[in-house]
Amino acid sequence: MTEQPSRPTFGLDEFGLDDRMRLFGYVTAENRFAYRWLLRAFESARSSYHIMLHTADVAAMLGVLHEANPDCPDPAELELPRLLDALVEWGVLDRGQDGTRASTLAEYRNRHSVYQFTEAGYRAHRAVEAVLTATMDDSTLSRLVFADLLADLAALAAANEAGDAEEVYRKLNRLDRALADIAERAARFYHMLGDLSRTNDVRPEAFLAHKDALLAHLRDFHDELQRYTPRLRAAVHEVEATGLHRLIEAAAEADERLFHTPVQRLEDWRRRWQGLRSWLAPPGAEEVSEADRLADATVAAIGDVLALLRRVTEARRGGVSRESQLRHLAAWFTRVPSQDAADALFDAVFGLGAPRHVAVTHADPETIPTRLSWWDAPAVELSRTLVAAGREPGQGRGRPARIDRGDDRRHRLRADQLARERRLADAAAVLAEAELDEHRLDAEQTAVLLRLLDLALAARVGAARAVPLAAAAHGVRLTLTPTPGRFTTVRTAAGQLHLDGYALSVAAASHTAVHRRELVAV
């Protein structure tokens, strides 16, 4: 068996598996709350650039925390040296000696210890704090990061073209951290939605109070993701056009990780760029990017939230939830006096009684040979009324009632429908002849435009992104021409309508005159 070449180790690499597990010993110790507040005191001092603390300094920081937080124990009631030594034993803290505090030889011989976090201990403390302080507020999707990604990709392309290695390293490192943050936030958010839909202890009032904010958050994130996905894909291609090999070499050259060889740094940055590319612009035309998968997951999450809303609404409509109903039913079954009463309750609840037996003669029995078995003989058709009620169709109900056709109402509805179609046709004719950049659409013209847009955008599913979309109705034809980086603006009676990435044109279906709304720069 050949030995694996040893890698250079530093910091956390020196800790074995057992040592790392011992870092969390204070979490389950008897005085775990005191240990937790002690480490919070060290973290508070570290945030103020005080790294090494004497026992008196630790007591002073605990006193400050005790005044601000009633849950914090009083340092006067704690045996600080014993607690600090236990944390040193677990590897969370590091202990050193400070002889400058001694004023006499006797004091010097006594222990004057100072304590500070070990690197592994600080990470363990932060991991425990992250778990204990995790809230629903952390599970959010960041929609504002897409604009930063687009700006960083543009700056990365300019830096790579100019040969600025340090700027390439900074921008590429920032892009890597931003994508990691997006993926982590999305994972936490969708896991939170899954827990919300699976839990049996959902409070309907809390969910109904926040459902609008939750749906608006999902909708805004999906809109921003759909808006920036083609731009980010184009920005990735522009970066690679400046020289991908030079980009990787520049990032590896400016990387300051001392304990990585140049080859390792090159491979690491090449791997990071491949991950970034798979997120925004996969190389294959048929490959689905992680951004597209994230958009699909967002749409699925919206459906899950609506399904949960429907279940909560139906439970509130009945006065009690399904869980409460099943619990009461189980209690009834446990309190029945006999087996017969349990069977009767079962039949009343689930409606499973004895099967209904019916006998029907075949219409022409002579056509069926008597030597055929039941398995091979053709089946006899039974009416649903006979099986469900035990009677032939039409029996026991007398003459059928007279059908009320409602001719007056039908004529009135038909007249209203024709009048509406005429109004829409007139509005479509005006829409085809008007200059959209100068004309303000009324309610009928806006309805025609929205109906045409709905038909045109529905054809986008499965079609190529660069193919124009068209739809025709009410004697006019609408065409949407893909124009990346720009958007179309139409003024309506209800406000302004913006179409991102498309040029809009409306023309009469019988001739070729086209009236185009010019694009406005973003």
CA distance 200 to 207: 13
Q: How is residue 106 written in tokens?
A: 């006797």
Residue 70 has pLDDT above 50, yes or no: yes
For residues 86 and 9, which has the higher predicted lDDT (pLDDT)? 86
Distances (CA, A) of 5 to 9, 51, 142, 262, 360: 12, 36, 43, 17, 85
CA distance 254 to 160: 13
Tens digits of residue pLDDT in 383-416: 777 777 667 766 655 565 666 777 788 888 888 8
Residue 517 has pLDDT above 50, yes or no: no
What is the model's pTM?
0.43
Name residues whose C-beta falls within 8 Å of residue 81's C-beta, 6 or more positions apart in sequence. Answer: 55
- pLDDT value for 5: 45
Q: How is residue 120 written in tokens?
A: 């592994």
Three-state secondary structure call for residue 199: coil
Q: Tally Cβ neighbours within 10 Å of residue 157.
A: 22
Single-letter code of the amino acid located at 111: R
Q: What is the DSSP string of 434-492?
A: S-TTT--B-HHHHHHHHHHHHHHHHTTTTS-TTS-EEEEETTEEEEEEEEEEEEEEEEE
Mean pLDDT for the chain overall: 76
What value does the CA radius of gyration of the chain take, rounded to a whole number of Å?
37
Q: How many CA atoms lie within 13 A of 131 on its CB side?
A: 8
For residues 417 and 303, which has the higher predicted lDDT (pLDDT)? 417
Distances (CA, A) of 257 to 265, 274, 481: 8, 20, 49
> What distance, in Å, lies between the first and last C-alpha atoms of the chain?
64
Q: Grade residue 465 by pLDDT with cuts at 50, 70 and 90.
A: low
CA distance 104 to 240: 69
CA distance 247 to 249: 6
Q: Grade residue 470 by pLDDT with cuts at 50, 70 and 90.
A: confident
Tens digits of residue pLDDT in 425-454: 888 888 887 777 777 888 888 888 888 888
Distances (CA, A) of 72 to 69, 86, 142, 200: 6, 19, 34, 34
**Cα angle, residue 449 at apex, residues 444 and 451 outer, rounded to 5°:** 95
Mean pLDDT of 294-304: 77
Q: Grade residue 9 by pLDDT with cuts at 50, 70 and 90.
A: very low
Task: Scan for tokens 């921008």, then name that residue.
Answer: 171
Q: Grade residue 516 by pLDDT with cuts at 50, 70 and 90.
A: very low
CA distance 44 to 62: 10
Q: How is residue 202 written in tokens?
A: 């959902």
Domains annotated for the chain, with CATH where assigned, are 17-133 (1.10.10), 136-312 (1.20.58), 412-459+467-508 (no CATH)
Tens digits of residue pLDDT in 353-378: 666 677 777 777 777 887 788 788 88
Sign of CA dihedral 293, 295, 301, 306: negative
Sign of CA dihedral 99, 102, 105, 107: negative
